[in-house]
Amino acid sequence: MIIDRPKSHFIFVLPTDHVNRHYNYIQYNNKPLTNREYLKYWGKWIIFGNPEELAALAKRLDFYVEKKRIPAVKYDRKEIPEFEFGQCVMCVYCDVRQRTSVWTILSNLGIKDKAWVYEKETVDRWRPGGYLLETWISSRKMDEEMAQKVRNDAENTFKQMFENENAVFRGIVQ
Cβ neighbours of residue 99 under 8 Å, at least 6 residues apart?
A: 43, 45, 116
**Which region among 4-13, 81-90, 118-127 has the lowest average model confidence (pLDDT)?**
81-90
Average of per-residue pLDDT across 39-62: 97
Residue 169 pLDDT > 90: no
Residue, of 83 and 139, whose pLDDT is higher? 139
**To the nearest whole number, what is the mean pLDDT of the chain?**
92
Work out the number of other CB atoms within 10 angstroms of the CB of residue 169: 20
What distance in Å separates the CA atoms of residue 26 and residue 34, rounded to the nearest whole number?
Answer: 9
Report the 3 state secondary structure along the chain.
CEECCCCCCEEEECCHHHHCCCCCCCEECCEECEHHHHHHHEEEEEEEECHHHHHHHHHHHHHHHHCCCCCEEEEECCCCHHHCCCCEEEEEEEEHHHHHHHHHHHHHCCCCCCCEEEHHHHHHHCCCCCHHHHHHHHHCCCCHHHHHHHHHHHHHHHHHHHCCCCCECCCCCC
pLDDT of residue 153: 96
**How many residues make up the chain in this entry?**
174
pTM over 0.75: yes
Residue 174 pLDDT > 60: no
Residue 114 pLDDT > 70: yes
Percent of the chain at pLDDT above 70? 97
Which residue ranges make up each domain of the chain?
Answer: 2-118, 126-167
What distance in Å separates the CA atoms of residue 24 and residue 6, rounded to the nearest whole number?
Answer: 24
Quick: pLDDT tens for 65-94.
999 999 999 999 999 888 888 899 999 999
Residue 32 pLDDT > 60: yes
pLDDT of residue 173: 45
Residue 23 pLDDT > 80: no
